[in-house]
Structure 1
């Protein structure tokens, strides 16, 4: 249901008063106020009634305060005071004190553009006051009716559709304008139009107040938009859920504010509901990831099916190490960004985020990482394509990819310079290599470091010893000790190749 925010009852004006036959008013001077809305009608015979007037008032007088002679200076000062007070028009009651309107009063009003009408003796001032009051009351009733209808429409959209998009669309319809919702980071979540409005400036203002981190609101001037425009934050201080920008037709009066306030409250409830739903999805994702990594395929499949999802037949495991001291809110946002497009299940700990990515979504996952300011600044390890039963192997592969390249960006296992060794690597091979090299641990001389340094120098004794700060005979003695402990002939290519493979597989 759409109700118009534009009033059908016209505001009271001098033109409207003149059109009422029972009032029999006569226009003496058109002036500038004939079509200005009258807020009230006040009668006074004071020389200076302005302390008792508000803007856009029509003043009625019988002229008892006017001098007997036609004093042009007096009338000029009187008219100046009315003009400064924002009087819409002056109504002069005929035949109460004098038969006609004083000529000097006419001249003074004419010189200042003040609308002047004459009220016949038979027409009481109260008739004009009542006519204006009735029109104001009718407009107020119309605005009240619109407010109730608009609030009901927004509430019904929340109850029936129950979506943020439906509520925002209904609000835009009711205010005959447009609405934009921003996420806490300032990204556009929903943008709907019921009128041609450029919401760029509105969204920019929303991002500005979001950066302050506190509850705030602000009016905005939009280019080529004659209605109102306002933005305000959503959610409590310290936990803002975003911002809303609203551009509507007409004035941002009490009636419009009531509709906007009610709609914003509903939007905040939906956002809280969405937060709870996302938390549930994150917990489900964590359960699925842990089940897969522990090898419980049947349980993972059943849990996914219960929530209308499915474990992919081919998948990759992604690992994102978290910066030290990362806040819970930041970790939650990271999880949201990893799973926003439905690309992954994700689990997190204090040290890292682990995600299960369908193999078919690899490219989309990489684009999502590159498009996220948070993720693009972090290293992401990605395993080879594996079956669900190999998820634990995928985790080890993703971690190995990170070890080989800790820079920001997506690092896919098997894409490094290690080439064939990456293809041959497995968690079992790493465990075997660590056990073999464990015999070197605790021996004097840091044998593992000496072995890697020596191999990095292609077995050249002089350069390796120089870098190690050792005599070449000392280095030779340590390498010989390594060969003895590992039962390898390090004078042969095969022995050296096996030592290098052990170091690579163990990530020593």
Structure 2
């Protein structure tokens, strides 16, 4: 029996008598004795007090108001029980003290003259020591049972199940995305608590640092503890208990260490899987999809159904592991919908009819991404190249997805502005731009306007606000400076390409 007022009252040799006032099953960490009018500066919450009532006076001098204020101070301090020693100062326990303890919910028990305060304190101390020894023994036994559970095939799951059994409470593991991965016992908490824990767990994981967080819900209290090293967290352990004593904390610490080790082993295995995925990506790029399909089916599930689309995404090195962990979860949840691998970028292969994984990942992590047109596995290399080209264009703007089809619809010449042709274009048009700068002419704008107006002099003159002969004379002058025949289509296309390739 733990050290409570009930345990003291059960000792027949102490001959204590309960006078009421409040619950008697609250633990008593220690017993003090004092007759000070206000002993609260020397007391802590969870302790009990013994007094002979000297501070109350005797006979008619006993003040009910003074006693009520005294008991109120004890209750506010967190004192859990009051013992009154009779026949020392007072003949029996004052009625005012009984009334005050009942009013403030403080358990009151009577200590007869024949029982010393030292005997009562010693009895409580023995119970506290016995309880501490029992809890230490329990902690050792629990840690031993948990260590044995960790040796089972599903070591992580068995460890958490054993922790739940030892603590007699619900235990859950949140994965790197904050989703509840496993729980013991299954479905042991309501849906609203599950949602709240997943939201708080995701917030801890986004912080990226080791942390512990108490969480209060409508149904009870939980403790969340991150797993893994700071900067690379592997998940969150959730325990449905408001507070743990020292023995309980030792058991949880052991589980955190074992779970961290298990998750680290899983990470090393994931690295090996990552190397295998990269090799399979290379094989797909060389057109050998049959071996990749067989291997993928055995390990992760079938490849996405044709037609497929390939996505290339930019992921910072310090975020790659967490992104890969999330993708591994998605592959497990929806086999046959996604294949991914890390090479010079992160590549995703998805069904052409469902690009949701690309969209979710891009939005969740704020990534630049390029997405190919539809393809078959025999044309995987082309799709991969398209994804890389689209990714290059995405890097020029805000994070998000750029589709290769959009680039193709812009035309070949529009792509020149995003290549290294700008310096060549600048040099090609230099005779015009240099002449305009030196002479104050407007040949460069005239040539561009002429090309935009389908090389029609009347429309060019109208757009520039000059006479058609002036427009024609400028075009002829520009041709001489460029040393090109602007009457030829090839020359006109070359000049227009130069204008397109120049930065805006």
Q: Is TM (by shorter chain) over 0.5?
A: yes
The residue that corresponds to 2:97 in the other structure is 109
Per-residue deviation, residues 130-177 of structure 1 (Å, max 9, x unmatched): 543443344334433443344344434433144655544544454412
The 5 A counterparts of 1:451-470 are: 458=454, 460=456
5+ long unaligned stretches in structure 2: 102-106, 332-337, 432-443, 465-470
The residue that corresponds to 1:177 in the other structure is 170
The residue that corresponds to 2:140 in the other structure is 148
* Match 1:88 to one of 58, 81, 84: 81
Query: Are 1:384 and 2:374 an aligned pair?
Result: yes
The 5 A counterparts of 1:130-279 are: 130-162=122-154, 164-175=156-167, 176-181=169-174, 183=176, 187-188=178-179, 190=181, 192=183, 194=185, 195-196=188-189, 198-210=193-205, 212-225=207-220, 228-237=221-230, 239-241=231-233, 244=236, 246-249=238-241, 251-279=243-271
Question: TM-score, length-normalised on structure 1?
Answer: 0.66
Query: Are 1:347 and 2:337 an aligned pair?
Result: no
**CA displacement at 1:92 relative to structure 2:** 2.0
Q: Does the CA contact (< 8 Å) of 1:230 and 1:246 recur in 2? A: yes
Q: Does the CA contact (< 8 Å) of 2:274 and 2:342 recur in 1? A: yes
Check 1:392–1:129 CA distance in 2 against 1; reply closer, same or farther (3 A cut). same
The 5 A counterparts of 1:287-298 are: 287-293=279-285, 295=286, 297=288
Per-residue deviation, residues 419-468 of structure 1 (Å, max 9, x unmatched): 9x99xxxxxxx9xxx9xx9xx99994489x9999987655546667979x
**CA displacement at 1:367 relative to structure 2:** 0.5
Task: Give the secondary-structure state (helix, strand or coil) at the position aligned to 1:252.
Answer: coil
Q: Distance in 1 between matches of 2:148 and 2:448?
A: 71
Q: Distance in 2 between matches of 1:275 and 1:214?
A: 18
Check 1:305–1:106 CA distance in 2 against 1; reply closer, same or farther (3 A cut). closer
Check 1:297–1:217 CA distance in 2 against 1; reply closer, same or farther (3 A cut). same
Check 1:267–1:459 CA distance in 2 against 1; reply closer, same or farther (3 A cut). farther
Q: Does the CA contact (< 8 Å) of 2:174 and 2:182 recur in 1? A: yes
* CA-atom RMSD in angstroms: 5.2
Task: Give the secondary-structure state (helix, strand or coil) at the position aligned to 2:386.
Answer: helix
Q: Distance in 2 between matches of 1:442 and 1:125?
A: 101
In the alignment of these two chains, the number of paired residues is 445
Q: Whose helix proportion is higher, 1 or 2?
A: 2
Task: Give the secondary-structure state (helix, strand or coil) at the position aligned to 2:385.
Answer: helix
**CA displacement at 1:334 relative to structure 2:** 4.8
The residue that corresponds to 1:24 in the other structure is 15
Per-residue deviation, residues 295-314 of structure 1 (Å, max 9, x unmatched): 38499759958994788896
Query: Are 1:282 and 2:274 an aligned pair?
Result: yes
Q: Does the CA contact (< 8 Å) of 2:348 and 2:358 recur in 1? A: no
Task: Give the secondary-structure state (helix, strand or coil) at the position aligned to 2:347.
Answer: strand
Q: Does the CA contact (< 8 Å) of 2:173 and 2:183 recur in 1? A: yes
Question: TM-score, length-normalised on structure 2?
Answer: 0.66
The 5 A counterparts of 1:346-365 are: 346-349=341-344, 353=345, 355=347, 357=349, 361-364=351-354
Query: Are 1:473 and 2:476 an aligned pair?
Result: yes
5+ long unaligned stretches in structure 1: 1-8, 423-429
Deviates more, 1:407-416 or 1:168-177: 407-416
Q: Does the CA contact (< 8 Å) of 1:154 and 1:170 recur in 2? A: yes
Q: Does the CA contact (< 8 Å) of 1:47 and 1:66 recur in 2? A: yes
* Match 2:319 to one of 324, 330, 334: 330
